[in-house]
């Protein structure tokens, strides 16, 4: 069994090995560095993230965590595992002084949810 299959059995999120998924995260906003990963992981939970990191450490694999891919010199790229955090993009709590969100929530979602909730808090 390949390590990608083994990883797929350890997590509940998706482990993608097709060319389209790997090409989509092979470069970043800077377009200077190109590094196509062997797998792209879309975690379903924080536990999945922890499992991926432990798996990579156990098997000496490199992992890059990726959000929007706006880095400019390859910081969000990896030859082996890209952990695509956009699958964890929920804003979970908005109070008057704070917003709590998952690690892959984008600025747009963050702001629109916060604005809607702030309006509710005010009314
Ligand atoms: C045109 C342009 C304009 C910008 N303007 C501004 C600006 O005005 N102000 C400003 O502050 N920044 C600005 N930036 C920088 C950009 O907003 C930040 O780099 C951005 O926050 C990166 O987010 P990302 O999700 O795209 O990260 P990525 O590019 O995906 O990752 C960047 C780094 O963060 C790590 N990372 C990503 N997600 C996580 C996570 N959940 N947990 C741990 N590590 C993680 C990656 O491994 C990588 O090392 C700009 C960038 C561009 C390209």
Check pLDDT > 80 for residue 80. yes
CA of 27 to the centre of ligand 1 (A): 14
Q: Which domains does the chain have, with CATH numbers?
A: 3-87 (3.30.43.10), 91-122 (no CATH)
Kindly report the protein residue whose alpha carbon is nearest to atom 17 of ligand 1.
70
Check pLDDT > 90 for residue 43. yes
What's the mean per-residue pLDDT of the chain?
A: 91
To test the pocket of ligand 1, the residue of 70, 80, 85, 91 to mutate (highest count of ligand atoms within 8 Å of its CB) is 70
9-13, 28-32, 109-113: lowest mean pLDDT where?
Answer: 109-113
> pTM for this one?
0.89
Between CA 71 and CA 78 the distance in angstroms is: 13
Check pLDDT > 90 for residue 73. yes
Q: Pocket residues for ligand 1 (CB within 6 Å)?
A: 28-29, 64-71, 75-76, 85, 103-104
Q: What is the mean pLDDT of residues 14-24?
A: 98
């Amino acid at each position: 069994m390949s390590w990608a299959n083994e990883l797929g059995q350890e997590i509940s999120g998706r482990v993608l090995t097709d060319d389209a998924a790997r090409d989509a995260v092979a470069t970043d906003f800077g377009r200077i560095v190109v590094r196509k990963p062997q797998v792209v992981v879309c975690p379903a939970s924080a536990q999945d993230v922890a499992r991926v990191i432990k798996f990579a450490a156990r098997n000496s694999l490199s992992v890059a965590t990726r959000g929007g891919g706006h880095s400019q010199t390859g910081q969000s790229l990896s030859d082996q595992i890209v952990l695509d955090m956009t699958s964890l993009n929920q804003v979970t709590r908005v109070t008057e002084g704070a917003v709590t969100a998952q690690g892959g929530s984008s600025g747009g979602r963050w702001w629109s949810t916060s604005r809607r909730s702030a309006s509710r808090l005010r009314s």
